[in-house]
Chains A and B, each alone.
Chain A
Amino acid sequence: MAVTTMIGARIHRREDPKLVTGHGSYVDDLRQVGMLYMSVVRSAQAHARIKSIDITDAGKAPGVVAIYTARDFKTMISGGLPVTESLIADKKYVPNQFPIAETEVVYFGEPVAVVLASERYQAADAAEQVQVDYEPLPVVVDFEKAMQKGSDKAHSDGPDNIAWDVKFPGGDIEAAFKEADVVVKERILQQRVFPLSMEPRVVMANYVPFGNQLTLWTSTQVPHFVRIFLCFGLGIPESQIRVISPDVGGGFGSKLRPYPEEYLAAAASKLSGSPVKWVETRTENLQATTHGRGHIFDIEVAAKRDGTLLGLKVTNLSDNGAYVGVFGALQSALSLFLAPGCYKWKAFDGRTVGILSNKMSTDPYRGAGRPEAAHLVERAVDLVAHELKMDPADVRRKNFPTEKEFPFTNPLGMVYDSGNYAKTLDKAMQIVGYQELRRRQAELRKQGRYLGIGLSTYVEICGVGPSAATDHVSGSISLVESSIVRVHPTGSVTVAVGTHSHGQGHDTTFSQIVADTLGVPYESVQINHGDTSDTPFGYGTYGSRSLPVGGISIYKSCQKVVDKAKKIAAHMLEAAEADVVFDQGRFHVKGSPDRAKTMGEVAFRAHQTGLPDGMEEGLEAVTYFDPPNFTWPFGAHICVVEVDPETGAVDIQKYVAVDDCGNVINPMIVDGQIHGGVAQAIGQALFEEVVYAEDTGQLRTGTLLDYSIPGIGEIPDLELDRTITPSPTNDLGVKGVGEAGTIAASAAVINAVVDALSPLGIKHVDMPASPDRLWKMMQEARK
């Protein structure tokens, strides 16, 4: 076995020196000779018929080269944006989305024309001068009303606003409720939020007619996925499209689909004969990059008097926006699959209704369905605890599967690979000083002060995904990840992968795996990703899958390399292969550690003549890894808040997170992922909400002046710890960690706020728990 000196080590990220010195290359840092700037004219109406588009004045503006509308693009782009429709088992109405509106705009910010000009500022000026004459149509904003019969329609030619209506039954729910001593019900809102990566989207396209070659630079999490759909949409063979995604300034799920502007920039380059760059402004980013969440959950919980959980009914109403997001249905489905959480229910019953409205599409945002699930089930458990006057920690413990009950199957048939839920909870409670906090809370309550302690014990699903399980939702797409591991003649190693880091530090983590597995110096390993021309096909980076799927693919390729190298080493050492041992990067003959060859020596030999009979030259391997199961990270977060009884201001006083993501490759990176995830969830819990005007459908939170993401003053110090329960489903025992913090934290914060206000009889608080909302609730409770 190889040395394990790198795996588990706190290695500083190799990505960082260029990034801290300003030498990163994000797409807007790149340019092409003769490049034109594209500005997108966007709808100022949420729902209207386009009567006419007048480009006369804009066309005369300085520097303008061309103005294109849907009519021009129709000649160039066929079909529409992809939707994973097969997720929607009982499909109702899924409108086709062409990248640019032709006759009807259906959301505020939808593209209606593009302007190409020589300079950035000229393109912006001319876009202002494009005159669009709209005939307003009724605007659908309230998505619950939109599902009613006779509602105004988000698309005037649609039958109604229902995209899907699907049930997910799991066990005998009626029996479970019959057995109940208590039933609690609640409506739990998951407000729309902006993913808001600090780098907005940027696209640069260069179409060269000679050879029908398209190069597209784009800030994306999924370069290969984008290429497939550009191939379909533009009719250019996939082999002649090169998608390059260099450094990406965050994504959080909002960059994991093809976007209209990618089609439009590519087509505009083809139409104009020039390279074209489009840089999304923050204002556009808020209008036209997918939003996250946007659900209503109605829940009913059945429990016994002793706290035993029996049954959970969940109805999910999902606000899709005007077009069903590429993975729009996925998050609703995941929110139900994971709604049972880490508890032993007798039965579960879920229903999801996807609803169209005149807004931007919702699509995955860090966690994609799992934060929603964790939030609702963690609120559900607290509601039961409150009803039964039990400590919420006790209710949780009572209903966890024990360590011995793994693999554990939830009521929807999801098989959790491994876990020890009580252990993370115990550890978190010990770190936070739970009993002492409860005593302090009682004291403060006597003084009229509201201290709250919130627990969240979550489980999540990562490592999408095993084809056997995803087949029916992915449309038979096998969600594998791939790698090529190539040992060069002089012993250094190039690894090419289909995943694509956008802040996660894959270059570092993957190199650690390779260095250990091949026994080569960490510094000699190069990781290529983000460019379709030198990487094998992959679905990209999302769903905390890059390590448990992509990383395992790398590990397996390395093993294949070792296997071949061992044969060559045996040949070199004139020993039987069975007698050769690979250890510490050296192949030696069993019992004779001095008779050894290094991987570098073997690699050189692999490129020389006289290899064993029938063996090809070279030392490289390819793996397409299809995992046998998902992975199931879990953990326990505890948040302590104090709510100002007069103003409703929430002060987070302490935040403890104990996570278990299986084996850890780089603890520093893992902690960083938790930090960021928790901060985003605190953002949703306390600060963030996308607001559209009820009457006009215009975006009221249209700039960062009006939309509040947490700043450095708002995130407390986060105390982290972990337990390690390896995943049995892969060679490295890893589970993935990219989304855990976001999945866990909103429930911890809101449970703490509710706990703080419970002396007033408040049982539930929706997000964001802003001071004005809490003040109003306190006022009403005190009446």
Chain B
Amino acid sequence: MIPAAFEYARASSVEEASKLLNKFGEDAKVLAGGHSLIPLMRLRLAQPTALIDINGIKELDHIKEDGHKLRIGALTRHVTIQNSSVVKDKLPLLAEIAGEVGDNQVRNMGTMGGVIAHADAAGDYPTLALMLDAEIVTNQRTIQAKDFFKDLFTTSLGPDEIVTEVVFPVANGPHKYIKFRRRLFDWAIVGVAAQKMNGDWRIGLTNVGPTPVRAKAVEDALKKGAKPEEAAQHASDGLNPAGDLRASPEYKKHLARVLTKRAIQQST
């Protein structure tokens, strides 16, 4: 299928991109990897009037270690994150998650910023960002992950605001991401990330609600000394996932519990 017509402009700096967004108005969109946007455009479920191509803004493609932080540029491709020795060393969970996004072709194009800004409930990075208290840096401000993901496909980004960087804490303790799916390349029916950080567990859930979820109740139970299988029972506390063709709400809640247990147990 074929997208509807749109205007196209390349930005060579974040400032220019922001100006172009202003110029083309609220129906303009940023084009990074395009792997969420272009299929929607082909189905004509998205019909932006203009695309601002930021792929030429080289400074957005970076991985920097900054003290106890890891700064990932918005244009950094999944494949770069997956193979980065810095990421493998400082936040190996992120490298593993990057390697499980889509397939090789998708990973060669898709970007950190794109996944974060798209805010798909099945996105994997948002879960990690939320559970690790990452910061989302834009051309205008820095937003805490907990304040960023507002609803399904909805973030706190303003109309001319562009994600430039996502800042994660360094964490290289035991960790595991379990992406439960029917096929190797599918998105998560339910995903669970576990990361031990500063002596405590962080647990994040993917695709169990409109936004990523941090399983605080599980974290608290673990902190109080509960065994993984006991703590994991709290993974579905307060969840109200929507059912879909792949899974009923009950099954998703069940998976949240089972996979949380496994993610903690299998963390290395």
Contact surface of A with B, Cβ cutoff 8 Å: 120-121, 124-125, 128, 281-283, 646-647, 649, 686-687, 691, 700-701, 703, 705-706, 708, 710-714, 770-772, 775-776
**Contact (A281, B4) CB under 8 Å given A647-B180, A647-B258:** no
B residues within 8 A CB of A772? 246-248, 251
> Would you give 16 A-B contacts (Cβ < 8 Å), ordered by A?
A124-B1, A125-B2, A125-B5, A282-B1, A647-B180, A700-B245, A701-B245, A703-B43, A708-B182, A710-B183, A713-B183, A771-B189, A775-B254, A776-B248, A776-B250, A776-B251
In the complex, A617→B135 CA distance in Å?
Answer: 87
The 6 residue pairs across chains A and B that have the minimum distance between CB atoms: A713-B184, A124-B2, A772-B251, A646-B258, A772-B247, A281-B1
Interface flags, B1-36, vs A, CB<8A=1, else 0? 110110000000000000000000000000000000
- Give which listed residue, A283, A647, A687, contacts B1 with CB less than 8 A: A283
Q: Are B245 and A706 in contact (CB under 8 A)?
A: yes
B255 sits at the interface (CB 8 A): yes
B141 sits at the interface (CB 8 A): no
A residues within 8 A CB of B237? none
CB distance from A777 to the nearest CB of B (A): 12
B186 sits at the interface (CB 8 A): yes
In the complex, A750→B215 CA distance in Å?
Answer: 36
Q: Are A691 and B245 in contact (CB under 8 A)?
A: yes
Q: Are A712 and B245 in contact (CB under 8 A)?
A: no
Contact surface of B with A, Cβ cutoff 8 Å: 1-2, 4-5, 39, 43-44, 180, 182-186, 189, 245-248, 250-251, 254-255, 258-259
CB distance from B105 to the nearest CB of A (A): 13
Q: Are A714 and B184 in contact (CB under 8 A)?
A: yes
In the complex, A146→B180 CA distance in Å?
Answer: 37
CB distance from A654 to the nearest CB of B (A): 19
In the complex, A121→B247 CA distance in Å?
Answer: 37
B residues within 8 A CB of A708? 182-183, 186
CB distance from A105 to the nearest CB of B (A): 21
Q: Are A647 and B43 in contact (CB under 8 A)?
A: no
Q: Are B5 and A775 in contact (CB under 8 A)?
A: no
Give B261's nearest chain A residue, CB to CB.
A646
Give A284's nearest chain B residue, CB to CB.
B1
Q: Are A711 and B185 in contact (CB under 8 A)?
A: yes
B residues within 8 A CB of A649? 180
Q: Are B246 and A770 in contact (CB under 8 A)?
A: yes
Q: Are B4 and A125 in contact (CB under 8 A)?
A: yes
B residues within 8 A CB of A701? 245
In the complex, A772→B253 CA distance in Å?
Answer: 11
- Give which listed residue, B2, B39, B43, contacts A121 with CB less than 8 A: B2
Q: Are B183 and A714 in contact (CB under 8 A)?
A: yes
In the complex, A128→B47 CA distance in Å?
Answer: 13
In the complex, A706→B39 CA distance in Å?
Answer: 13
**Given A708-B182, A775-B251; 7 other pairs, CB 8 A cutoff:** A124-B2, A125-B4, A647-B255, A708-B183, A713-B183, A714-B184, A775-B254
B residues within 8 A CB of A691? 245
Q: Are A128 and B44 in contact (CB under 8 A)?
A: yes
A residues within 8 A CB of B259? 647
CB distance from B250 to the nearest CB of A (A): 8
A residues within 8 A CB of B250? 776
A residues within 8 A CB of B184? 711-714
B residues within 8 A CB of A711? 183-185
B residues within 8 A CB of A775? 251, 254
- Give which listed residue, A281, A283, A687, contacts B182 with CB less than 8 A: A687
B residues within 8 A CB of A646? 258
In the complex, A266→B89 CA distance in Å?
Answer: 63
CB distance from A691 to the nearest CB of B (A): 6
CB distance from A131 to the nearest CB of B (A): 16
CB distance from A778 to the nearest CB of B (A): 10
A residues within 8 A CB of B186? 708
Give A124's nearest chain B residue, CB to CB.
B2
In the complex, A283→B254 CA distance in Å?
Answer: 33
Give B184's nearest chain A residue, CB to CB.
A713
